[in-house]
Amino acid sequence: MPSHLLPAQRWDIFCTVIDNHGDLGVCWRLARQLRDAGQQVRMWVDDASALAWMAPMAEQEPDMEVLAWAQASQARTLECLAPADVWIEAFGCTLPEAFVAHGVASRKQQPVWINLEYLSAQNWVTRMHGLPSPVMSGPAKGWTKTFFYPGFTEGTGGLLREAVLLTRQQGFDRAAWRQQHAPSLAPGGLLISLFCYEPTVLPRLLTQLAGTHHHLLVTPGRPLAAVQQSLKSMAWPPNWGALPYTDQNGFDEMLWACDLNFVRGEDSLVRALWAGQPFVWHIYPQDDNAHHAKLEAFLQWLQAPQSLRQFHRIWNGMDQAELPTIDTQLLRDWTLCVHGARDRLLSQDDLVRQLRKLHAPSDLAS
């Protein structure tokens, strides 16, 4: 059944910010897409400061509220709010006990309680997705949460995708964007965006680009600081420029405009897939190197050619070889790979539709 015929609900989304580009970005996209699907959404966040540039009109969005995390423990706030039909714990955060206790005391039945997990292409995701998780202690003892795993294949929770995304992309003026942001790009040169943490091989990439017609656009924050540090030891820098902070739509436009995108974390990986341009993913590093297996699983799902696998492994510190040379032939191979992956994803239900179907009556969910 079309998603607009599924029952409208009120949603509480909880987010604690570790990486404000990623955690907050995913939650804001989720909130906005739920709202666009006819839902009412409240987002509780411990640090909403990045919304000032990520979503500068956030306070004026209809049917959406952004509330401070601390307010979820204030009886005065809770008593004034209509109870939500769905609670979402994003990325392993734990709901404030006062919020849970108020919910238990003020309602006859528990809300749908979803533990929204991190994105992974690993095989165990399909086994874990949708499993119940009984609450064993605390004021909600006896209630049940549900694990919800975003993913790339059938049997997972899918990926966030706005209904109007492809229409927006088709109407995008790529040439005008490139002229505005890289007017000095030489004929035959590639336009490359850089959004990363601090890869140890960044100086190697900058050295490879030096002396070419390629132009590097560096995003603000940690990527810009890393590039500036690397350039101090280079006698001959590449052609490059710094980009300002932009909202989420502006970030999409950057990905659409560039010939190659270096992206990091979860949110920008998904946006790079929808963009359909060649990309290299800087996965969030973990102390026990658990991210290595996660990256390999993604590359396997992507059906990445050997050159793209090698570049990813070197970029993520798993291999010490030289970076493959970025040229048009290399990007042609990578583009075919990305287009195939995007086509597979477009044949699946997006994450919001799957969330809404998860606990809908069976006659409506089909």
Both 194 and 337 in a single domain?
yes
d(CA 55, CA 25): 9
d(CA 212, CA 170): 30
Domain assignment of residue 237, yes or no: yes
Domain assignment of residue 339, yes or no: yes
Whether 356 and 3 have beta carbons less than 8 Å apart is answered as: yes
pLDDT digits (tens, 9 = 90+) for 270-313: 999 999 999 999 998 888 888 999 999 999 999 999 999 999 99
- Catalytic annotation, pick one of 252, 266, 267, 350: 266
- Catalytic annotation, pick one of 23, 252, 253, 350: 23
Domain assignment of residue 26, yes or no: yes
* Tally of domains within the chain: 2
Radius of gyration over every alpha carbon of the chain, rounded to an integer in angstroms: 22
Both 208 and 75 in a single domain?
no
| 53-73 per-residue burial string, b: 16 or more CB within 10 A, e: under 16 | ebbeebeeeeebebbebeebe
Q: Are strands 144-148 and 132-134 parallel, antiparallel or unpaired?
A: antiparallel
Among the listed residues 9, 13, 7, the one whose alpha carbon sits nearest the alpha carbon of residue 30:
13
Backbone angles phi, psi at 262, to 5 degrees: -95, 120
CATH of the domain at 304: 3.40.50.2000
Backbone angles phi, psi at 46, to 5 degrees: -85, -15
Both 189 and 141 in a single domain?
no
- Which run of H or E residues covers position 198? none
The domain boundary residue, chosen from 157, 190, 225: 157
Domain assignment of residue 281, yes or no: yes
Q: What is the DSSP string of 27-51?
A: HHHHHHHHHHTT-EEEEEES--TTH
Q: Are strands 215-218 and 239-242 parallel, antiparallel or unpaired?
A: parallel
pLDDT digits (tens, 9 = 90+) for 87-116: 999 998 999 999 999 999 998 899 999 999
Task: Using alpha carbons, list the distances in angstroms from residue 304 to 247, 281, 297.
Answer: 30, 12, 11
Both 100 and 205 in a single domain?
no
pLDDT value at position 89? 97
Both 120 and 39 in a single domain?
yes
Whether 346 and 162 have beta carbons less than 8 Å apart is answered as: no
**What is the side-by-side strand order in the sheet with 279-282?**
239-242, 215-218, 191-194, 260-264, 279-282
The residue segments making up the domain with residue 172 are 165-346
Determine the 3-state secondary structure of 196 from DSSP: coil
The domain boundary residue, chosen from 116, 135, 157: 157
Regions of the chain where pLDDT drops below 50: 1-3, 361-366
Both 138 and 73 in a single domain?
yes
d(CA 252, CA 233): 32
Both 182 and 102 in a single domain?
no
Domain assignment of residue 136, yes or no: yes
The set of long-range contacts for 57-61, using a CB threshold of 8 Å and a minimum separation of 24, is 58/28, 61/32, 61/35
Work out the angle between the directed axes of helices 267-275 and 248-257 (0-180°, nearest 10).
50
CATH of the domain at 91: 3.40.50
The domain boundary residue, chosen from 157, 173, 188: 157
Q: Is 266 a catalytic residue?
A: yes
Both 131 and 75 in a single domain?
yes
Domain assignment of residue 351, yes or no: no
Both 241 and 126 in a single domain?
no
Domain assignment of residue 56, yes or no: yes
Q: Is 23 a catalytic residue?
A: yes
Both 50 and 182 in a single domain?
no
Both 65 and 198 in a single domain?
no
Both 193 and 333 in a single domain?
yes
d(CA 231, CA 307): 26
Cα three-residue angle 128-133-139, rounded to 5 degrees: 160
- Which run of H or E residues covers position 174? helix 174-181
Q: Which two tokens stand for residue 17?
A: 């910010």
d(CA 292, CA 349): 28
Domain assignment of residue 357, yes or no: no
